[in-house]
């Protein structure tokens, strides 16, 4: 088996080129490749061209040592669209399979997708039926949004009946996926090379989100259609890479990409209206004390279509601990050492002080731990519950501003039940149960 052609390879031109992208999903990538090897027809002439976007978790080493994979290593994260395009330009097959690393193939899936294109020469491409890891159905298909749906997607207008209906139509709620339909998905989509542009599959102005919608629109305008077939199934761990971006970076890419999509597809007055409604929604949520995903500065950039840079470097999860008593630096260092080796970073947050303090203080413990002393807005917070709740919100806002500059999923743990007002305020992905206070934590509480 040659590294380029795969099983039963043809030195000139394989039938199928699999364009696999990877960013810090080593375990998911391994499962994807194992499922491919276990389910692919042994007579299929294919190649795997993989692009690793500067992973730090060993994904590139895994791909480099996997039989039959041609690997392109990027020094930095160029985004999903850019990585797919790199793999496309290196590929040679008449059929292209755009593939996320968090896909696992069910038996016969690839054969059925190829067979559908062979039996339907007018079809430009085909996507499988998506299932969650537990076997339940997953709606993960591209539907071009109406203007009303874009407003409902990002604002409280989703509660207004007409806009809610437009959003549900865009999300295809309650629709029938038991029969072939004209639907596409950028996570696992097989295309004929003849319908793709000579130099790229995706528009790189949309590095993470909306690139599949732009492709679907481009194909539709050219009279090409991509189908979903329910008898070809895959399991999909949704957002395995995107969750590593952190909520603020994800939201800026999602909103900024949508602004770019609207700029290409809507008249200027509608884009202006969209921006005005999103700003109004942002201000209203702030006045009501609701959580917002972006600072006003990031919101302004996103509404210009600027999605911001993609993160490089450390993208491990954050364990954020709001403690019931101030951490001493030696105890905080000991806690960081306890956390070392768990493949995540630790941010220890002191409770608000007894008197106002206007600046945060950050102590770098090592490559695993940080200790944050947040600002305090009101005096006597340790005695007055109302003041304590306000001070906790101020502390959570300071933590969030700091985390928003650092990629990685956020796990929140409260070692003090009085810290409950911070729940939902740091953009956390998960709230963990309160831990039993360890000797390290007890030493921290005793100063």
Q: With 60 as the cut, is the pLDDT of residue 211 above it?
A: yes
Say if residue 195 is in the same domain as residue 104.
yes
Dist. CA 363–CA 347, nearest whole Å? 10
Q: Tokens in use for 301?
A: 């950039």
Say if residue 337 is in the same domain as residue 401.
yes
Say if residue 292 is in the same domain as residue 253.
yes
Q: Report pLDDT digits (tens) over 227-244.
A: 999 999 999 998 778 878
Instruction: Determine the average pLDDT of the residues in 37-46.
Output: 94
Report how far apart, in Å, the C-alpha atoms of 156 and of each of 167, 174, 205, 291, 342 are. 12, 22, 28, 13, 39
Dist. CA 317–CA 335, nearest whole Å? 16
In a domain, 8, yes or no: no
pLDDT for residue 444: 40
Domain finish residue from 201, 222, 239: 239
| Enclosing domain of residue 169 | 143-176
Dist. CA 304–CA 182, nearest whole Å? 32
Measured CA angle at 221 (ends 216, 225), to 5 deg:
55
Q: How far is CA 372 from the centre of its chain?
A: 27
Residue 409: which pLDDT band, with cuts at 50, 70 and 90?
confident
In a domain, 434, yes or no: yes
Q: With 70 as the cut, is the pLDDT of residue 4 above it?
A: no
| Residue 160 buriedness (CB in 10 A; 0-12 / 13-18 / 19+) | middle
In a domain, 312, yes or no: no
Q: With 90 as the cut, is the pLDDT of residue 286 above it?
A: no
What number of other Cβ atoms are within 10 A of residue 423's Cβ? 14
Contact 192, 120 (CB under 8 A): no
pTM of model > 0.85? no
Least reliable range by pLDDT among 206-220, 290-304, 331-345: 331-345
What number of other Cβ atoms are within 10 A of residue 341's Cβ? 8
pLDDT for residue 439: 37
Contact 329, 355 (CB under 8 A): no
Contact 195, 237 (CB under 8 A): no
Q: Report pLDDT digits (tens) over 313-371.
A: 677 888 999 988 888 888 888 888 887 777 788 999 999 888 898 889 998 988 789 99
Dist. CA 279–CA 290, nearest whole Å? 14
pLDDT for residue 430: 85
* Sheet arrangement for strand 46-52: 69-73, 46-52, 16-22, 95-100, 188-192, 125-131, 226-236, 103-105
Say if residue 332 is in the same domain as residue 440.
yes
Dist. CA 287–CA 273, nearest whole Å? 21
The three-state DSSP-derived secondary structure of 57-76 is CCHHHHHHCCCCEEEEECCC
Domain finish residue from 220, 239, 258: 239
Say if residue 42 is in the same domain as residue 138.
yes
Say if residue 234 is in the same domain as residue 195.
yes
Dist. CA 370–CA 367, nearest whole Å? 8
Q: Report pLDDT digits (tens) over 114-123.
A: 999 999 999 9
In a domain, 153, yes or no: yes
Say if residue 324 is in the same domain as residue 386.
yes
Q: With 80 as the cut, is the pLDDT of residue 280 above it?
A: yes
In a domain, 9, yes or no: no
Residue 7: which pLDDT band, with cuts at 50, 70 and 90?
very low
pLDDT for residue 440: 39
pLDDT for residue 5: 38
Residue 88: which pLDDT band, with cuts at 50, 70 and 90?
very high
CATH code of the domain in which 344 resides: 3.40.50
Kindly give the residue spans of alpha helices, DSSP state H, lying in 174-245: 211-221
Instruction: Determine the average pLDDT of the residues in 265-281.
Output: 97
- The candidate with the shortest Cα–Cα distance to 319, out of 395, 374, 362, 370, is 370
pLDDT for residue 406: 81
CATH code of the domain in which 86 resides: 3.90.550.10
Reduced to 3 states (helix: H, G, I; strand: E, B; else coil), residue 310 is coil
Q: With 50 as the cut, is the pLDDT of residue 18 above it?
A: yes
Instruction: Determine the average pLDDT of the residues in 34-39.
Output: 96
Q: Report pLDDT digits (tens) over 124-172.
A: 999 999 999 999 999 888 788 999 999 999 999 999 999 999 999 999 9
Instruction: Determine the average pLDDT of the residues in 76-91.
Output: 96
Domains of the chain: total: 4
Contact 97, 40 (CB under 8 A): no
Say if residue 284 is in the same domain as residue 212.
no
Residue 182: which pLDDT band, with cuts at 50, 70 and 90?
very high
Q: Report pLDDT digits (tens) over 48-81.
A: 999 999 998 899 999 999 999 999 999 999 999 9
Residue with token string 């997953």: 138
In a domain, 270, yes or no: yes
Spell out where 197-336 has E strands.
226-236, 317-322
Mean pLDDT of the chain: 88
Say if residue 108 is in the same domain as residue 154.
no
Say if residue 199 is in the same domain as residue 116.
yes
In a domain, 5, yes or no: no
pLDDT for residue 445: 41
In a domain, 215, yes or no: yes
Phi and psi dihedrals of 75, rounded to 5? -75, -20
Say if residue 58 is in the same domain as residue 135.
yes
Residue 11: which pLDDT band, with cuts at 50, 70 and 90?
low
Say if residue 125 is in the same domain as residue 161.
no
Q: Tokens in use for 59?
A: 């994904």
Reduced to 3 states (helix: H, G, I; strand: E, B; else coil), residue 441 is helix
pLDDT for residue 435: 57
């Amino acid at each position: 088996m040659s590294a380029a052609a795969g099983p039963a390879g043809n030195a000139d031109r394989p039938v199928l080129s699999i364009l696999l992208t990877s960013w810090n999903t080593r375990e998911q990538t391994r499962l994807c490749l194992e499922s491919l090897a276990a389910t692919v027809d042994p007579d299929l002439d294919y190649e795997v061209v993989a692009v690793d976007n500067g992973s730090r978790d060993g994904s590139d080493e895994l791909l480099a040592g996997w039989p039959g994979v041609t690997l392109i290593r990027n020094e930095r994260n160029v985004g999903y669209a850019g990585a797919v395009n790199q793999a496309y330009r290196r590929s040679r097959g008449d059929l292209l399979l755009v593939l996320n690393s968090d896909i696992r193939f069910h038996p016969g899936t690839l054969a059925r997708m190829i067979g559908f294109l062979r039996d339907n020469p007018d079809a430009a491409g085909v996507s499988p039926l998506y299932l969650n890891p537990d076997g339940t159905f997953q709606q993960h298909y591209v539907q071009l949004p109406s203007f009303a749906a874009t407003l409902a997607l990002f604002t409280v207008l989703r509660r207004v009946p007409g806009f809610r209906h437009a959003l549900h139509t865009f999300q295809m709620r309650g629709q029938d996926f038991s029969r072939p339909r004209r639907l596409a998905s950028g996570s696992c989509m097989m295309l004929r090379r003849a319908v793709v542009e000579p130099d790229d599959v995706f528009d790189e102005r949309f590095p993470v989100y909306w690139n599949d919608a732009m492709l679907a629109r481009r194909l539709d305008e050219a009279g090409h259609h991509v189908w979903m077939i329910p008898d070809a199934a895959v399991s999909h761990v949704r957002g395995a890479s995107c969750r590593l971006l952190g909520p603020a970076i994800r939201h800026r890419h999602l909103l900024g990409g949508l602004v770019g999509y609207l700029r290409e597809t809507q008249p200027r007055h509608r884009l202006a209206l969209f921006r005005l409604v999103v700003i109004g929604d942002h201000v209203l949520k702030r006045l009501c004390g609701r959580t917002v995903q972006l600072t006003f500065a990031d919101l302004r950039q996103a509404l210009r279509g600027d999605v911001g840079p993609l993160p490089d470097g450390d993208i491990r999860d954050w364990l954020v601990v709001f403690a019931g008593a101030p951490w001493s630096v030696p105890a905080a260092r000991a806690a960081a050492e306890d956390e070392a080796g768990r493949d995540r970073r630790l941010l220890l947050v002191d409770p608000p002080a007894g008197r106002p303090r206007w600046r945060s203080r950050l102590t770098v413990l090592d490559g695993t731990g940080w200790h944050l002393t947040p600002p305090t807005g009101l005096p006597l917070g340790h005695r007055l519950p109302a003041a304590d709740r306000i001070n906790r919100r101020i502390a959570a806002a300071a933590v969030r501003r700091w985390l928003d500059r650092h990629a990685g999923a956020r796990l929140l743990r409260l070692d003090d039940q009085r810290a409950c007002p911070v729940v939902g305020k740091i953009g956390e992905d998960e709230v963990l149960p309160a831990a039993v206070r360890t000797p390290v934590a007890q030493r921290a509480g005793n100063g």
